[in-house]
Every structure is written in structure tokens, then in C-alpha cells.
Amino acid sequence: MAPSQENDSSHGRLQASEINGQETTVQVIIIGGGLSGLQAAHDLQEAGLSCLLLEARDRVGGKLWSVPLSPGQKYVELGGAWTNDVNQPKVTALIKKLGLEMVKQNIVGDCILEDHGRFLYGSDPPLSEADKTAFAEVRNRVEALCHTVTVADFGQSLAEYGHMSMDELAICMGASDIVRRLVNIWTAAMLGVESNQVSAIFFLHYCQTGGGLLQMRSDDTGGGQHLRFRHGSQSLCHGLQRGLKPNTVVCSAPVQQIEQDPNTGCLVITRDGRRFRAERIISTVPSIFLNHITFSPSLSADKIWLSTHSKLGFYAKVFLIYSEPWWRKRGLCGLAQGLNGPVSLTRDASSDEDGLFALICFIVGQTGREWAQKDQHERLTEVIVHVDRIYGSNIPRPLETREQIWNEEEFSQGAPCPVVPASCLRSLSQDQWRPEGYIHFAGTETSTVWKGYMEGALVAGSRAAKEVIDIFSTS
């Protein structure tokens, strides 16, 4: 039975208009009601500390957003969708605790590479022998290299690869034109940026946090895209929220100003002028949005540089919902790579038990930015035409569609994780997201494991909460 999304979203939540009058005072204020902030709040309250979570949106979840196609069933994931139960222990434990039902990502059947043809999932794409050799060389060398790029020591890696984009690294490894285009699908699908717009060292580091390129890209057991949530990944957030004390979460409360004072602690002021005081703050705000908040005193030069120079790639999803999984009848698993149109990737997004049969189309990177400038009807038409071109003739029309352009969402503005330039990585490795005065930092981008994923968000939330708990326990 599907969890009640309505009940989940209202439990423990206080709308902005319900808090009036004087300053609200707690021991810890958490900024951001995604997985990281909710996990931090859970850990703090379990340790006996009082906290308040301020969320800018009118809902919890951040970039997890599960929308039902009909009341209580058939959820489509507008945001983060995948996890696994092999090497993501915090997500796995939370799923078990909340009793959530999971769906295995379908990998039975062939994949398609546009203009090149079909190939069995897990095998090499149908390229010429020379291109197959070049692709294997690039893939294997990137896989090996990403395991050498650790947060603790960027020095040697920066010296060797810090000046290169991911495209330039692929060229140095002997990539042909088609191999470069496949590498570009990696960076666009994972980070929303073109391979010539992302530092090789950052991409290698990003893959390293998820156990390597092959593990991050895999839909099989232990891979980054192995399991989906039958009733939506946002149910993780609703479950955490249900476990908090009433009125812990304040929605529709974007933070505008943070003041730190050694005598009076921290003052947080929201956009509409409400004031909150605490001894400590945990910020889960993505680094690129830190410069949207006025800090007094100012953040360190490293954090300001990071906020100013990092960027979010372009990320959009379009769901095509059908009466049946017609691709399976053709011996296809639903995974396809597009080369000449807006769709970079498709995946099977079905939940057979609920009668939901859908393909999810990823529109990412520069082609996505150009596609997003068109009107909604033209955008959808281009997606359907491109899917027809990838999959072939006699494809049924979708019964229903859903579109989500994350760059147009005020408090997200793009892909799951900011892209950090090589110039920031050395200071970031030394900084390790250390606290700034009374402010601690969380969010999936601050994690050393599964950066950009749900696991990374939970790990970071617990790490920041522990920093705060340790301080209170010794004071």
C-alpha cells in the first residue's frame, strides 16, 4: 500500500505564516529540508538537542520530488530516483526502517546507440573495431584513474590532469570522434555539462566518490541506478519528517541573512523578515547559493571562491507514459543513448505492479539548454520525434507526459551536484568543508562518498550533526 503523501507532507511541518511575533530560539538551526537536512535533524533530536529546519520550498525533499499521476499511485520521479542495496548502507537502512518497496531497474534486453544499432546490456556498443578498441581504452583508463583521485591528496592528480577538461583527457587517451561523444554522454548525464566544460580532475574525483565510473554508471546490482522506489524517493524524506518532533520543519522560509556573534550566537533572518536564533547552524545550501545569503562576518575566501566559480549543469527530465512497455516486446531494456537530438539517455521508468509503463528521457547539457528555450509544445514534440528516431518505426504515442526542467526551479537551478573548477579543488581538499565559526556544512556535494546521490546526502547530514553533537557534549 502506498504511503500517504498528503499526511507525510503535513506532519511536523509549520508553514511560514504560522510563526509570528518574537524570535524563535533553538539550539541548532538547519537550513534546507532535503535528505541531508532531515537526516541532520533526526540525529540532533535523537541526541537530545532542539532544532528547527528552515526550508525555502513549500515541501521537503529538495531535488527528490515524487509526483503521483493519479491519487496515491503511479509515481514519477521528477528528481533523484536511484539507489542500491549493496554499497549505500545509510539509504538501505532507512528503506528497511521505513518499510519502503523497491523496484529493480530493468536491464533485460538490448540497449540502443542512436545511428549505430542494438547491443546487449553490459556489452560494448556496436562500433567499428578501431572505435571499440579506443572506447575500451578510454573507459578502462578513466576507471583506473578515478580510483587514484582521493579527497585527501589532490596534489599529484592536479599536477598531471588539473589543466585538462574531460574531453581533452579522452583525446589524450586516443578517443575517436564517436568515443568523445560517448564520453560527453557520461558527463552530461551525470553532471549536466559537456565534457569540454568540466575539469577532468573533478569528474574523476566525482566518480571516485561513487566507487568508480563503472559502478556509478551501472544499472546492475551494486550500481548507481539499480533500484527505484515504488512509491517515490521522496518517501525517504517524508519518513524522516514523520520521525521528527512536531513543528520542527518550517516550509516557505528562504534564508536571506546569517549573523554570528560570540556573545549571542547565531541570528538567521528569512526573506520575509522572520528571525531565528541558535547556538549552531547546519547549512545544506548548495555551494553556488551561498552567495545568495548575506553572512556576517563573511565566509572564508575559499568558500566565497567556491560559491562564485562552481556551476550547476543543465538537467531536465521528460516522462513518456504508455499503455504497455512496447520496448520490451521488441527485446529492448529501455536504455538508449541519443546522439542527434535533445534526448541524451532514456531508461525504463516503469512500475509493473502499478500498471505504470514509462520511458524517462534525460535532456541535459548544452543541447538541453537550447531545447529549453523553445515553447512547451515544441519541446515535447522534439522529444517524441527523437525517441521515434532512436527506437525505430511504429512506436505508439504516449498517453501522458510529464516534464521537469530543474534549471527553472528557483532553489535548485540545475543538476544534482555543482561542478567545481580545478582551481577550487586544492583548497577544498584542505578545507574538507570545515565549520566557519558556528556554521557547519552538509549536503550531498560535501560528502566523500556517493557525491550527488541520496547516500551522499545522508552521510553528509549525519557527519555535520555529529560535529554539532560533539561540541554540545563537551561544552
C-alpha cell at position 205:
574525483
Mean pLDDT value across the chain:
93
The whole-number pLDDT of residue 422 equals 87
> Band of the pLDDT at 304, cuts 50, 70, 90?
very high
Question: Per-residue pLDDT tens for 261-287?
Answer: 999 899 999 999 999 999 999 999 999
Virtual torsion, Cα 337, 341, 344, 350, nearest 10 deg: -80
143 is in an annotated binding site: no
Residue 193 has a pLDDT of: 98
pLDDT given for residue 87 in this prediction: 98
Binding residue per annotation — 362?
A: yes
DSSP 95-160: HHHHT--EEEPP--SEEEETTTEEEETTSPPS--HHHHHHHHHHHHHHHHHHTT-BTTB-HHHHHH
Sorted by where each starts, the structural domains of the chain and their CATH numbers stand as 24-62+234-299+436-474 (3.50.50.60), 102-122+314-414 (3.90.660.10), 125-217 (1.10.405.10)
- Residue 179 known to bind ligand: no
- pLDDT band for position 152 (50/70/90)? low
pLDDT in tens, 74-96: 899 999 999 999 999 999 999 99
Cβ within 8 Å of residue 345, ≥6 positions away: 185, 189, 335, 336, 337, 338, 361, 362, 364
pLDDT score of 21 more than 70:
no
Q: Which cell numbers hold the place of 349?
A: 521508468
- Average of pLDDT values for 456-460? 98
- 232 half-sphere exposure, CB direction, 13 A CA radius: 27
Residue 151: pLDDT band with limits 50, 70, 90: low
168 is in an annotated binding site: no
Crossing angle (nearest 10°) for helices 89-98 and 234-242: 70
Give residue-wise pLDDT tens across range 176-196: 999 999 999 999 999 999 999
Q: What is the pLDDT of residue 61?
A: 97
- Run of H or E residues at 259: strand 255-261
Alpha helix ranges (H) inside 324-408: 326-329, 365-372, 376-391
pLDDT greater than 80 at residue 454? yes
SS (H, E, C) 311-348: ECCCEEEEEEEECCCHHHHCCEEEEEECCCCCCCEEEE
Q: Give the rounded percent of residues in the chain with a pLDDT score beyond 70.
A: 94
Cα 92 off chain centre by: 17
Give the per-residue pLDDT at 20. Answer: 46
Average pLDDT over every residue of 17-36: 83
Q: Which residues pair with 189 in a beta bridge?
A: none
Model confidence over 248-261: pLDDT tens digits? 999 999 999 999 99
Q: Tell me if the bond preceding 254 is cis, omega within 30° of 0.
A: no
- The confidence band for 14, taking pLDDT boundaries of 50, 70 and 90, is very low
Determine whether the annotation assigns residue 135 to a binding site: no
pLDDT at 382: 98
pLDDT of residue 160: 82
Q: What is the pLDDT of residues 402-451, one digit of tens each?
A: 999 999 999 999 999 999 998 888 777 767 799 999 999 999 999 999 99
Query: What one-character-per-residue DSSP string does 165-221 give?
Result: BHHHHHHHTT--HHHHHHHHHHHHHHHSS-GGGSBHHHHHHHHHHTT-HHHHH--ST
Residue 424 confidence (pLDDT): 83
Supply the pLDDT for residue 379: 98
* pLDDT the model gives residue 8: 44
Has 255 been labeled as part of a binding site? yes
Q: How is residue 192 written as a grid cell?
A: 549536466
Binning pLDDT at 50, 70 and 90, where does residue 203 land? very high
Query: Does the pLDDT value for residue 16 go beyond 80?
Result: no
pLDDT tens digit string along 355-386? Answer: 999 999 999 999 999 999 999 999 999 999 99
Q: Give residue 72's pLDDT.
A: 62
